[in-house]
Amino acid sequence: MDIKEYKCPNCGGAVKFDSSSQKMKCPYCDAEFEIKALEEYNFDWGEKKVEETLNESELDDLSTGVCPSCAAELLGDKNTVAMVCPCCGNAQIVNQRLSGFLKPDYLIPFKQDKKAAIEALKKFSKGKRLLPDFFTQENHIKNIQGLYVPFWLFDAKADGHICYKATKEKSRKDSSFVYTETNFYSVVRDGSVSFEKIPVDGSEKMDDAYMDAIEPFNYKQLKEFNTSFLAGYIAEKYDVDAEKSKERAEKRIKASVEAEFARSIEGYNSVEIESSSINVKGSTPSYALFPVWVLNTKYKEKKYLFMMNGESGRLVGKLPIDTRKIWKYGFKYSGILSIIFAILFIAIFMLDKRGLVNVGLSAQEILMYMLVALICALGIGFGYVWSWRSSMNTAVSSGQANAYMVHDSLEFREKRDKFLYNTVSKTKR
């Protein structure tokens, strides 16, 4: 495996990319270097000349090697393009997987460091009342890695023609009935919208929902690819090609077009899509590496995965839930509501106008009212606690690509709202 490493001109130590200074830094003498300046030093790294294309069998064979610094064995898989030596900590880069058709066009460098990733997990866990009491103390960071994930970036223009069925309602009433008049409309929206650099991860092992959830990526930080940025981090090449990734990009585009067209429809009580035709035309996608911190934690023999956008610091993941706390807080809030409902019950049903106890209610009626109050309290109390579960899992994909719409690119060729017919229904008051 052909390995490349960056050496410090001062002390000869292996330098790494420092996310704080955005420079190359030597951990031994603390010297800092501009990336371009370091690239200009005439070091013999023992690089081998690589052909523009490599066949799959050659790529799959590049899985083991020797660290040039300490001679330790380096282990990776067929997708590894950069790694950190487990013995000496030096950064190593596999040149063959970054050449020719495997060379990325762009890269967003890390802005957040390892400490920020750990602090983000602590902040994410804070205030989660369903979290096991000893999770933050007992959980151990089994593996925290700064990983450059391969992404395909798609530019596209979408032409859409969507027909909707919409309604408007108005009511009137008399002494006996309530009359509801419903007007039905045919609504048509026809137009186009452009998208730029929609990211779709090209790694089979990365969870797509996690990758979508840590978006958006700030393209102001996008830089032309340079291997210097990989020093000190793990990086992988794609194993999902652009053609297959295009399917996910198209789904996100279509969902975004439908959402944007729907926002232009106002003043109706209900709007439903009757037919939707969206044609997506795109150019050749770009290939990029984006920074992600991957955190693996373990609690009671079960693994939990968290991922943080290495540029923006957005962290998503799924926290463990202590089912005993669901019962604990459910009964707690149900008990409080039961007391409130009991007071209201006494005030409404058992006291007369003079504030005296009304003895006209039978024991069965009192029991029935109390039972209804208890059921309502349990339903509301446990329903409230159950709603907390959503905050324990943020690794959910929005399924859209609105963040990558080109500004002011939405244009409508047709916006038509046509009245069809109306109906009138009546119900007893």
Q: In the chain, what percentage of residues exceed pLDDT 90?
A: 39
3, 68 contact by CB (below 8 A): yes
Does residue 110 carry a pLDDT above 60?
Answer: yes
Separation CA 94–CA 90 (nearest Å): 13
- Do 329 and 255 lie in a common domain? no
Q: In sequence order, what are the beta bridge partners of 305?
A: 296
- pLDDT digits over 169-184, tens only? 999 888 888 999 999 9
Residue 234 has pLDDT above 80, yes or no: yes
Residue predicted with more confidence, 79 or 288:
288
User: Looking at the structure, do residues 182 and 48 belong to the same domain, yes or no?
Assistant: no
* Strand runs labelled E in 98-139: 106-107
Give the model confidence (pLDDT) of 341-381 as tens digits: 877 776 666 655 555 555 556 677 777 877 888 888 889 98
- For residues 208, 210, 215, 219, the Cα torsion angle rounded to the nearest 10 degrees is -60
Answer with the one of 103, 125, 160 that is the final residue of a domain: 103
**61 & 79 share domain:** yes
**Among 302, 318, 292, 293, CA closest to 394:** 318
Residue 140 and residue 92 in one domain: no
Of 58-72, 188-202, 391-405, where does the model show the most confidence? 188-202
- 129 & 235 share domain: yes
CA–CA separation, 63 vs 81, rounded Å?
10
Query: Half-sphere exposure (CA, 13 Å, Cβ side) for 129?
Result: 12
In tens, the pLDDT along 300-350 reads 778 888 999 999 999 999 888 888 899 999 999 988 888 888 777 766 666
Residue 136 has pLDDT above 70, yes or no: no
In a domain, 402, yes or no: no
- Please check the confidence at residue 32 and state whether its pLDDT lies above 60: yes
Shared-domain flag, residues 374 and 413:
no
- Looking at residue 59, the DSSP 8-state letter turns out to be H
Q: Tens of pLDDT along 156-171? A: 999 999 999 999 999 9
Q: Is residue 397 part of a domain?
A: no
Contacts of 23 (CB under 8 A, 6+ apart): 17, 32, 33, 34, 35
Q: Which domain holds residue 366?
A: 323-392
**Local confidence band at 38 (pLDDT 50, 70, 90 cut-offs):** low
Q: Are residues 48 and 125 in the same domain?
A: no
Same domain, 149 and 296: yes
Return mean pLDDT, the chain: 81
Q: What is the pTM of this model?
A: 0.77
Report if residue 108 sits inside a domain. no
Are residue 309 and residue 334 in the same domain, yes or no?
Answer: no
- Would you call 115 exposed, middle or buried from its count of C-beta atoms within 10 A (0-12, 13-18, 19+)? exposed
